[in-house]
Amino acid sequence: MKVPVLNGTLPHEQYGKYSGAYVYIQPATPGTGVIAGGAMRAVLESVGVKNVMAKSKGSSNPHSVVKATFDALTKMRDAYTVAQLRGVDLDTVFNG
């Protein structure tokens, strides 16, 4: 799976869900590091994200948390993908 990583962080915040596990991940400023729990930390570091803040809610089952993290990461889109899907120029995505 492809995950958009911009300057070591994520392009936008995202929620993910699997079974009873809910995760919330959001971009962070450079120098923050990976602020996440055990199972989520392993996934985010292996993807290559260097600065991110994440929170896990609901089930603490590591298997469910990992799958919920994958769900959130697969929903991520960068600006280039959004521009292609809308059929507009990249400048239009940012400036309306």
Ordered structural domains, the chain, with CATH: 14-91 (3.30.230.10)
Each residue's pLDDT tens digit, 41-80: 999 999 999 999 999 999 999 999 999 999 999 999 988 8
Kind of pairing between the strands at 34-35 and 21-27: unpaired
Rounded alpha-carbon distances, angstroms, from residue 47 to 50, 91, 92: 9, 28, 29
Each residue's pLDDT tens digit, 2-31: 899 999 999 999 999 999 999 999 999 999
Rounded alpha-carbon distances, angstroms, from residue 32 to 29, 39, 51, 52, 84: 6, 19, 5, 7, 31
Whole-prediction pTM: 0.89
The DSSP symbol for 61 reads: -
